[in-house]
A and B are shown apart, each in its own frame.
Chain A
Amino acid sequence: LAKTTQPISMDSYEGQEVNITCSHNNIATNDYITWYQQFPSQGPRFIIQGYKTKVTNEVASLFIPADRKSSTLSLPRVSLSDTAVYYCLVGDPPNQGGKLIFGQGTELSVKP
C-alpha cells in the first residue's frame, strides 16, 4: 500500500477554508484516496473518497491532480467542531478489505 505524507499540524480560524495536502508519490493504478476524521477518544469517521479530478460531498471536497501523486482535502468555512485529526489513506478498497493503513495524520486546530 502506498505511503502518504501530510503535515503534522495546521491552525485555522472559524469561517476560513482549510486545505490539507497529502503526498502519495507511489500510488498504484487501482488505488483510491480516502480521508478520515478522528475526534479525541473516538473512532475515525469516513469523510470522502476519490480516484481522480474532484469529488464533493456535503462535508468536504477532494482535489486530485492528473498525476494523482498528491491530493488536497478542502474544508469550507471551518468551525470549532472541525478541530480533529485528519488522515489521508491510499489503497484499493475492494481488495483492501479491512486493512486500512493510517499514517500520523494532520492535527487541525480551529480557533475562534
Chain B
Amino acid sequence: DAGVTQSPTHLIKTRGQQVTLRCSPISGHKSVSWYQQVLGQGPQFIFQYYEKEERGRGNFPDRFSARQFPNYSSELNVNALLLGDSALYLCASSGTGTSPGGEQFFGPGTRLTVL
C-alpha cells in the first residue's frame, strides 16, 4: 500500500513569491494535517483538515492557507514568502472512520528553500 505522498520533493523560491505544496493521504484516511519543521526543531502544527473542513489551526500567519479536496488530498499555500519560511513541510494523514484522530502517518516532506 502506498503511504502518504507529497510533491514536490524540493522547491526553491525567492522572497515574496507564492508556493503550493501537495499531499495525498493514505487510501481511506480522511484527515490531513500539515506541519512545518525548521532545521533543528520539532515539527510545528499548521493545519488539520477533516472531511474537507478545517478542524484546527496552529499559530501561523494568514499567509498560510490550505484546503482539502473531495478525494481527501490537500494543498498548502504560502503567500509572500519570507526567508524564515524555509523548512521541511510535512503532511500527515489519519482517521478512517468518523473521528479525525488516531495514529498519524507522515509523508517524506517537501523541502522549501526561500532565497
- Secondary structure dominating the interface of A: loop
Q: What 8 pairs between A and B have smallest CB-CB spacing?
A: A43-B106, A98-B33, A102-B42, A98-B48, A97-B100, A94-B101, A99-B56, A102-B43
The answer to the question of B1 belonging to the interface, with a C-beta cut-off of 8 Å to chain A, is no
Residues of A within 8 A of B90 (CB): 43-44
Which of chain B's residues has its CB closest to A92's CB?
B101
Residues of A within 8 A of B48 (CB): 97-99
The docked-state distance in angstroms from the alpha carbon of A93 to that of B101 is 6
The answer to the question of B88 belonging to the interface, with a C-beta cut-off of 8 Å to chain A, is yes
Residues of A within 8 A of B111 (CB): 41
Residues of A within 8 A of B41 (CB): 104
Chain A contact patch, size range:
20 to 34
Residues of B within 8 A of A29 (CB): none
Q: Is the CB–CB distance between A100 and B101 below 8 Å?
A: no
The answer to the question of A101 belonging to the interface, with a C-beta cut-off of 8 Å to chain B, is yes
Residues of A within 8 A of B91 (CB): 43
The docked-state distance in angstroms from the alpha carbon of A99 to that of B43 is 11
The docked-state distance in angstroms from the alpha carbon of A105 to that of B43 is 10
Q: Is the CB–CB distance between A93 and B102 below 8 Å?
A: yes
Q: Is the CB–CB distance between B99 and A94 below 8 Å?
A: yes
Q: Is the CB–CB distance between A98 and B106 below 8 Å?
A: no
The docked-state distance in angstroms from the alpha carbon of A43 to that of B103 is 14
Distance between B35 CB and nearest chain A CB, rounded to angstroms: 8
Find residues 19-46 in chain A having any chain B CB closer than 8 Å to their own CB. Answer: 41-46
